[in-house]
Every structure is written in C-alpha cells, then in structure tokens.
Chain A
C-alpha cells in the first residue's frame, strides 16, 4: 500500500453530497459516480482524479454514509486520500473499498505536486515536507492489503 501521484487539493469539511450528489445514486453503473465526482464543488476536479493523491482539509467526507462517494474516488482512479481528519464512516468506507487513508497534521501541498505515501510505515512526503500518519489497526491493514472488504471476506470465507 505505497505509491505516488500528483496532488489534487480540495477544501475543508467536504461532505459526501459534494463528493457525489444524491441525484446520481440510484444506479449500478459505478462509472457514473466517477464521472460526476465533485461536480457541485468544482466540475474541473473529476478529470484530474486518475492516478492522483487527493489532499483534503479537515473533516473530509462528513455527512452521509453513502459508499458511492468512495466508490466514485476508486472508479476515478484516486490512489490515496490525505487529510488532517476524516469523518469516521468515510474513513471506514475508504478502507473497505481499498483506498489508503492517511491522517496526518496539515499537509502543505499544491495541485500537481508529487506526493509519495506508504501505509505500512505511515509516512508521506513531497519534496518539501514529510509527515507521519495515524497508524491503522491490523484488521484495517489486512482489509487494505486484500484490496478491500470484498476480497477480505472472500479470503476469510474460503479458509
């Protein structure tokens, strides 16, 4: 669970309605969520998500439990999400769909700047700054390393 990619920076208190609006939820086509991600916040964000590290302000993902919000990020190709704090359901949902979440104190960063992260060591950095992140529980690590909760339970059920 390590990688690197250009940063896409978003603000504080970004709620799940802003990640994916309620009007796009009733579908089985997950590409819809990727296509419309952050549409009400800034329509220029969605095309920049592929291969990026999403760098958010505090309280990332507050609001609804809708997992479509994190599926939108996964489908769009977001590598990891960084924030000083996460809403807890969003945090859980990220791990469950296999997106690394890195919680650390404010991470000064600009759009396009390369961010490198490693979930196992809990470190992330740019050329200018290095940060230590909140460590994940063994079970969270296991889910992430399996690629998400579907693969995690597939493995456990087949044992």
Chain B
C-alpha cells in the first residue's frame, strides 16, 4: 500500500514526477543566488509569485556592506515581483513557513536543506539549491523522484529532562549520516503517545542529517489544533493499513536519555552522563531545530534564578517565538540568568555572525549540524537539547539536565 510520500506525490516510489509547487521559499543566502540565476535565464516573469516566499534569516541583520547590498538587491526583487517577503527578524524560513503558511498534503520546496522540517505538518517538503528555486520561479513546477520510505515507530513517554531532540540525535546516529539518502522518513506514533507539533518539527528537521529527502508526519488532531492557532483548517491524513516501508525502526521514548552529538559528526552520539564535566566556552540555544518558544521555555525553567557560568547566546526561531517569550516572562528569565538574546534568525549556526567560535574553542549548540569548522574555524562543538544546553550553561561544562529539572 502507498506511503504518505506516494500519496502526496501521486506516483510510485522510484518514479519521477513533474509537480506543480504549492509553496516555494528561499532565504537571503540562497535567494540572492537564485535571483542571479533567474536573471541569467532571461524569464519574462515569475509564474506564481503568490506561492513564493523570500525570508531573511541567514545573515540578518546584515553584517557587512557587501551583505547589505545583496540584501537590498533581493529585497527589491522580491517585493517588486509580488512574492511574499519577510525582512530581518521575521525568523528562520522553516519556522516562519510552519506558522500557518503550509498545509498537509502540499508540495513544498525550500532552497535550504532543512526544508524537510515542514514534513511535520503532513506536507511533502524538501530542500533544493538555488538553480532549482529559480526554475520554480520561472515555471511553477519541478521534478521530483518519489522516494522509498523508512518508518520510525515511536511509543512511550519522555522522561524528566529528556527531549525529542535526544530522539532526533539517536535516530540519526542509528541510521548514520547517509542511512536514509534518497528516502523519506515517515514518523508513526503509537496511540498511547502524543507528540506535540514542536517535537514533530524538531524530529522532521533532522531528517536530512540522515540524508533523507523529507521527514513526514500524518496530519491528525495535533496538526489540526496547531494550525487552528493560525486560522487554518485541514483534514486528517489516514495511513493505509500496511504502507510499504524499506526499513522499520522502533523507538521507545521511556528508554531515552539526554545525549549529545560529539565533534565533528552528527551521527556520533553519546550520553550526556558519559561526557559530563567537559569544559565549554559557549552555549547556543536556538536554530530551526530548537529555537521555538517551547525550547526557550524549557531552557528558562532550568535557568530560572540561576546564572550562566559561560557565555550563552539565545536566538528565538521567529518573531512569534520572540514575542511569546517576551510576553510570557521567559525572555526576562533568560536575560536575568546572563544570556545574550539576539534577533530571530539562524544566528551563529552557519558560522557567519553573532557568536561564531574561535580557534580551539569548544561550544555546545542546540543546532542540527556540527561539521568541522562550520560554526568557527578550528572550533569543535556538541549538539544537544535545550535542557542539556541550559544545565550546561549553568555548570560551564557539559551537565546532565535530569539533575537540574
């Protein structure tokens, strides 16, 4: 029987399908490259500008005159062509799109590898490069190979201080960095477990770290309730009795413990208890993996009334997350603990600004990638959940969040 990928793309795994795109988005980094390529194509215009979004997140606000000039060029282009445009501070493209702009069953293409995040909403969402984005602008369509699927069955309940990020790190380690290449992950939940949208977004976000094309969830009550917050309605997606999965993996949430991806591979994961006491130079809480309000709130609950012992940078994933953190008091708690809060966006994750590490420094980040030199040449960093990050920020070294919550 068909998988969710096959159902949405309307073709069998392995076949190639030319698809009209429901939503296409890019950011300041890939967008300017797509604009240059679009100009080279000499197209008469953008076919479906209302389906296209340009969202500034990677180096926003601009760090140099050169970046600012590229921002200005793309900003002018996006606004004049009638595309949706989100300027600096609106948030990370994936989170911005997740806030009521993507619906179950849609085909969503983003010019960023973590576009798979939006699979959490039951959309077939995947990343492409700048040329593909320019091609979508000029035609409204692109080609896709319908992927085979791997099922990740999840059951049980998370323990104290353990997060869905810990599961994300574990499943990537289990599959390996190329274990799901050219495939889709389909997350299937036992009826006794209830995984909130923020957890689904975190789990889908890291699908690409195992090479997957997307990380899909069937739209259900959680999806409906989440989208209702943004005034959107949707139908549930019912799975067929026995979709054909090339691999099936079972995860028991009760068995998980806090863990970290160690430098410099995201698929090399160890338990926090094993690494406790490792000195840190910086902690970073944010990114499209873990910069949502709920992530900041869990970190704040641990940091409440305490002080960070190491420089700690917090970057909300979107303006909406920032505002909710401000009005709920979460932001005040983080600032009072000594955190530096920066404007919504990717922050230092891609190694461009606002908290890049120095040579020889050791960082801990709630991001999805710890490639060598990515967040600072000569630096090394660990990936963890916000709870582990907060507990470690207080200790100034890797610390187990179960002792802090």
Please indicate the chain B residues that have their CB under 8 angstroms from the CB of A148 in the complex.
131
B158 close to chain A: CB less than 8 A: no
> Once bound together, how far apart are the Cα atoms of A157 and B70, in whole Å?
27
Q: Is B66 an interface residue (CB 8 A)?
A: yes
A68 and chain B: residue at smallest CB distance: B33
Q: Is B249 an interface residue (CB 8 A)?
A: no
* Binary contact track B319-346/A, C-beta < 8 Å → 1, others 0: 0000000000000000000000000000
A26-B64, A137-B143, A139-B143 known; A87 vs B181 contact (CB < 8 Å):
yes
Q: Given contacts A66-B30, A67-B30, A67-B129, is CB(A18)–CB(B41) below 8 Å?
A: no
Band of interface residues on B? 35 or more
Instruction: Check if B127 sits within 8 Å of A89, measured CB to CB.
Output: yes
**B234: CB under 8 A from chain A?**
no
Question: Could you tell me the distance in whole angstroms from the C-beta of A66 to the nearest C-beta in chain B?
Answer: 7
A16 → chain B closest CB, angstroms: 8
Check: B282 CB closer than 8 A to any chain A CB. Answer: no
Residue pairs across A and B with Cβ atoms less than 8 A apart, 21 shown, are A22-B351, A22-B352, A23-B352, A26-B29, A26-B70, A26-B352, A28-B36, A28-B70, A62-B177, A62-B211, A64-B112, A65-B111, A67-B131, A87-B211, A88-B181, A88-B211, A92-B129, A96-B132, A137-B16, A137-B145, A149-B41
Contact B131 A150 (CB under 8 A): yes
Q: Is B255 an interface residue (CB 8 A)?
A: no
| Residue B44 lies at the interface, judged by CB distance under 8 Å to chain A | yes
Partner of B128, one of A21, A85, A92: A92
* In contact, B371 and A65 (Cβ under 8 angstroms): no
Asked whether B113 lies within 8 Å of A89 as measured between CB atoms, the reply is: yes
Chain A residues in the interface with B (C-beta under 8 A): 13, 15, 17-18, 21-23, 25-28, 40, 58-59, 62-68, 70, 85-89, 92-93, 96-97, 137, 139-140, 148-150, 152-154, 156-157
- Distance, CA A66 to CA B181, complexed state (A): 18
Report yes or no: A40 in contact with B178, Cβ–Cβ below 8 A: no
Contact B371 A18, beta carbon cutoff 8 Å? yes
Bound complex: CA A134 to CA B178 (Å): 17
Using A17-B371, A25-B29, A65-B113 as known contacts, say yes or no to A150 and B40 having CB atoms under 8 A apart.
Answer: yes
Known: A66-B29, A157-B43. A13 touches B177 (CB 8 A): yes
Within 8 A of A (CB), among B26-40: 29-30, 33, 36-37, 40
- A149 near B132 with CB under 8 A, answer yes
Interface-lining segment among B4-12, B134-142, B397-405 = B134-142
When chains A and B are docked, how far (Å) is the Cα of A140 from the Cα of B143? Answer: 9
Query: Would you give the shortest CB distance from B145 to chain A, in whole angstroms?
Result: 7
Known A-B contacts A62-B177, A89-B113, A149-B135; the reply to A15 vs B371 at CB < 8 A is yes
Select from chain A the residue with minimum beta-carbon distance to B143.
Answer: A139
**Once the chains bind, are B132 and A64 in contact (CB under 8 Å)?**
no
CB-defined contacts of A96 to chain B, threshold 8 Å: 129, 131-132, 135
Question: Nearest B residue to A152 by beta-carbon distance?
Answer: B135
Q: Is the CB–CB distance between B178 and A153 below 8 Å?
A: no
Which residues from A are CB-within-8-Å of B350? Answer: 22, 64
Q: Which of B111, B130, B131 has the most CB of A within 10 A?
A: B131
B251 within 8 A of A: no
Q: A13-B178, A40-B373, A150-B37 are in contact. Are A26 and B43 (CB under 8 A)?
A: no
Pick from A58, A139, A149: contact of B131, CB below 8 A: A149
Nearest A-chain residue to B64, judged by Cβ: A26
B216 CB → nearest A CB, Å: 16
Q: Which single member of B29, B43, B70, B131 contacts A97 (CB below 8 Å)?
A: B131
* Chain A residues whose C-beta falls within 8 Å of the C-beta of B134 in the assembled complex: 149-150, 153
User: Quick one: given A65-B129, A85-B181, are A18 and B113 in contact (CB under 8 Å)?
Assistant: no
Q: Is B67 an interface residue (CB 8 A)?
A: yes
Which residues of chain B in 353-401 are interfacial with respect to chain A, using CB atoms and an 8 Å cutoff?
369, 371-374, 377
Q: Which residue of B lies closest to A21 (CB)?
A: B373
**Assembled-state Cα–Cα distance A156/B67 (Å):** 33
The residues of B that contact A22 with a CB separation of less than 8 Å are: 350-352, 374
Give CA–CA (A100, B135) in the complex, Å. Answer: 19
B15: nearest residue on chain A (CB-CB)?
A137
B299 CB → nearest A CB, Å? 25
- Please report the C-alpha to C-alpha distance between residue A25 and residue B63 in the assembled complex, in whole angstroms: 13
A67–B211 contact, CB under 8 A? no
Docked-complex contact B33 and A139, CB < 8 angstroms:
no
The 8 closest A-B pairs by CB, nearest first: A59-B178, A67-B129, A96-B131, A93-B129, A22-B351, A149-B131, A67-B130, A65-B113
| A25, closest chain B residue (CB) | B29
How long is the Cα–Cα vector from A13 to B209 in the complex, in angstroms?
11
